[in-house]
Amino acid sequence: MKFVLAIGAAAAALSSMAYAGEWADACVARLTAEGRDTSGCVCLEERISANPALVEEFQTLGAIEDRTARYEAASPDAKAAMDACTRKTQ
């Protein structure tokens, strides 16, 4: 039984590692397409990952093409994350 639990834990760890970086990658792609600085994308990923409520919100926000509309549609917590990480020099 311990062996089965150990395998399950290892699989879960590898699975979560596979998803690490996806927010930063999406951020880089979006900001590059908009001609913006991408240096805050890792910061944004860290903030999203630290707040599960932001995960779903940023999935929704990612569908909004216009950057002004995307920002205006964001909650105060999402705006705070964007302000701290990707809008410093914008």
This prediction has a pTM of 0.70
pLDDT (tens digit per residue) in 14-65:
333 334 589 999 999 999 998 999 999 999 999 999 999 999 999 999 899 9
Q: Which of 30, 64, 34 is nearest to 44 (CA)?
A: 30
On the question of pLDDT at 8 being above 70, the answer is no
Element (H, E) at 80: helix 76-85
Q: How far is CA 66 from CA 6, 9, 33, 47, in A?
A: 46, 41, 12, 22
CA distance 58 to 80: 13
On the question of pLDDT at 9 being above 60, the answer is no
